[in-house]
C-alpha cells in the first residue's frame, strides 16, 4: 500500500509505504494539547517505508522519549516517533490525501478523553496505551 499526504499549506509532502498498523484514535493530553483537537487519529508505518517527498519538517521532543514533527510554515502536526519503537513512525491520519483509506480501529488513552466526547462508534477502548 502507498499512502500519500502532507501539511495544510503544501510545503511538506510524505509517502508511507507498506501496510498501515496501529490505526488508533488517541485521547492523551499531549496529543490534544499539541494539536488543539479533542483527539487525534494516527496510524503507524514501517520507518524504512516512510519518506518526505517535499520539504523537511520542524521537530520537537514532546516528552523525554518522543519526537513530533510539524510543518514550520503552517504548523500541521504530521508524525510522532517513540524512542522505544525505532522501526516505526506514527502519522496523523487526517494529513493523508485520502484519510478514509485508514480508518481507526480502537481508542487509546480513553481514560483521558474529554468528558463531552461521546464514544459510540463500537471501537475497542483502552484506558491507557494499547496492547
> For position 100, what pLDDT does the model report?
98
Specify the pTM. 0.94
Query: For the structural domain made of 2-112, what CATH number should be given?
Result: 2.170.150.70
Question: Is the predicted pLDDT of residue 29 greater than 80, yes or no?
Answer: yes
> For position 73, what pLDDT does the model report?
98
Q: First and final CA of the chain: distance in angstroms?
A: 24
- Short-list 107, 86, 77, 100, CA closest to 14: 77
The 10s digit of each residue's pLDDT in 62-94 is: 999 999 999 999 999 999 999 999 999 999 999
> For position 41, what pLDDT does the model report?
98
Question: Is the predicted pLDDT of residue 38 greater than 70, yes or no?
Answer: yes
* Domain locations in the chain as residue ranges: 2-112
Amino acid at each position: 500500500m502507498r499512502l500519500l499526504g502532507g501539511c495544510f499549506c503544501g510545503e511538506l509532502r510524505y509517502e508511507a509505504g507498506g501496510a498501515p498498523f496501529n490505526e488508533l484514535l488517541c485521547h492523551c493530553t499531549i496529543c490534544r494539547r499539541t494539536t488543539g483537537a479533542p483527539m487525534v487519529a494516527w496510524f503507524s508505518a514501517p520507518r524504512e517505508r516512510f519518506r518526505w517527498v517535499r520539504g523537511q519538517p520542524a521537530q520537537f521532543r514532546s516528552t523525554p522519549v518522543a519526537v513530533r514533527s510539524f510543518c514550520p510554515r503552517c504548523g500541521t502536526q504530521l508524525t510522532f516517533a517513540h524512542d522505544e519503537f525505532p522501526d516505526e513512525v506514527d502519522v496523523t491520519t487526517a494529513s493523508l490525501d485520502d484519510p478514509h483509506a485508514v480508518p481507526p480501529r480502537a481508542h487509546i488513552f480513553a481514560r483521558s478523553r474529554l468528558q463531552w466526547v461521546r464514544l459510540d462508534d463500537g471501537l475497542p477502548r483502552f484506558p491507557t496505551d494499547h496492547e
